[in-house]
Chain A
């Protein structure tokens, strides 16, 4: 016998693990990057719809109505948010994103009758002008927190955590902390800006109740108050948010993106969106407030099918972040030499933290930002949202539903045992729900 012996691949040390060990040994510090979890996770891809047939009848795809509207925040707010589609734009900061990107998101969302959300660092007037419905985040850092902005927002979102980093604070590396970004956050330009992981003036659900009361008092009880949590102990967190007086709860699964945080957070903290939806709905039903307190789900929503599946599992709306940025050409095969300079390529870029975004989305560099035309970007976001809504309607009609909120778990089957267990729908071709039957 001669020739090279074929070796099996090294399961414990695949190439990306070896590479990370080498990097850590060089730099002595955790790896910081953008976007969400890249590992394979049980997801909405593992579910399929059971379209109507003899036992159920469908709605005519192009003729019969299938509504998509949703009202958020009628529990306590005197001016709840009315959205035409149940797909919102998630909170992303000016700073992490360019002003052009924020404006484009606002224009696109407004054209579709849905909302956008501010982020760490506060509200820019460009964003307010571009967004017909704008949700103002109250974050642990309180960077740029301004009561005047609370009053001109349409809703308030108290951010406890996010799916990419539950229990962790954010960071914005110095290369993105320009004079304008620094000024909004009352920080020196060029520093690595840290965001706290806890709010400075409340701890725990009892305090949160009072914090929400204060926010309502400042805004005359007009604005819906959302509470956003990263998906971990979701059933408890949602229940406590409801108890604290939230009008809506946002649950962000571990596929949710970030502008920059430690990779160990992104990949190893939190639970996927799929089980989080079910746990959140459990909490709402247990308290008798499902549909009264709206559930907004985010983290890895990419297609109209994802939207429809989230709604079928009990969500009232979804929120998109990374996918909306991709609609703005994130990871598009443009300016290839700039991807190369970052050591990456289109389809694999997660270099948001560097501020060198080749397509002008996650940058503060005016040259790079000029590559994103807000008007054209707004058109692309509108088109993308429209596509998601139509796909969702298509699936709902196929299941015989005249409103996308009429989708239900009974319309779904799972392709994997894991998904069946997490989503609590039967494994396809069986009546088996692991752990339940």
Chain B
């Protein structure tokens, strides 16, 4: 099956077994079936996935709290639609990493392709490197923290949640944004329709600092600027025709 119990680790007083799943042997379907707990319980378990080799749809649809460490680069939709689980990708991630994340965390140690965290409804996505275009597109409550920069059209139609960028943001940031909050430390190439810079008060700074610390990224929240919706496109009006 390509899965097997590895060495036990002592975490506090509890011995936790690490189960290794070799994708060269097990394949994606076996991996997801195992991580989804379809054959035996997985809550509280730890997994290491080896030989990812850019495969798609790894560790998707998880429903229980567990730790999953994926060694190597992953393809599309890694950790998509997960609840509760904590997933670490040791490498880069393809399109749509953590798409529609419901809860739990996903950490990518490298860079990500487009649509990272797309339509995520909860949880935390940490990208230690940079993200390509459409990062946080239609995000619906997820928190996304990016150590590097993000590409164009990021946070398009972003509805809720927070997108934090320690580097720069590409063109049309937050186009047609709803109620999501955007924080950028570096340069913003341009803002999209109905996205404006907003005041950042002490409470905003404290909340951002807490999020950065939770994400494990060393950055000073006071260096960020905050963006959000001007709420001028919420209802169709002739005066806004040029923006539609």
Contact = CB atoms under 8 A, between A and B. Distances in A.
B219 to A, nearest CB: 27
Contact of A217 (B29, B83, B96, B234): B29
B57 A220 contact: no
16 contacts: A28-B238, A145-B100, A145-B119, A146-B121, A150-B61, A151-B61, A173-B236, A174-B234, A185-B159, A186-B140, A202-B76, A211-B77, A214-B56, A217-B57, A217-B61, A218-B32
Contacts of B156: 200
Given A213-B56, A217-B32, A218-B81, A201 B179 contact: no
B130 interface: no
A31 B67 CA distance: 52
Interface in A102-155: 141-142, 145-147, 150-151
Interface in B94-121: 95-96, 99-100, 102, 114-115, 118-119, 121
B115 to A, nearest CB: 4
A196 B141 contact: no
Interface string A25-60: 001110010000000000000000000000000000
A139 to B, nearest CB: 10
Interface of A: 27-29, 32, 141-142, 145-147, 150-151, 173-174, 185-188, 191-192, 194, 196, 200-202, 207, 210-211, 213-214, 217-221
B60 interface: yes
Given A188-B178, A214-B56, A218-B60, A200 B119 contact: yes
Contacts of B60: 214, 217-218
B134 interface: yes
Interface in B48-84: 56-57, 60-61, 63, 75-77, 80-83
Contacts of B96: 201-202
Given A147-B100, A210-B56, A217-B32, A142 B77 contact: no
Q: Which of the four size classes fits the interface of chain B?
A: 35 or more
B102 A147 contact: yes
B138 interface: yes
Main secondary structure of the interface of A (DSSP, over half): loop
Given A186-B160, A214-B56, A218-B60, A201 B238 contact: no
Nearest to A185: B159
A219 B36 CA distance: 10
A141 B140 CA distance: 11
B178 A201 contact: no
B234 A201 contact: no
Contacts of B7: none
Contact of A192 (B75, B82, B140, B236): B236
B138 A200 contact: yes
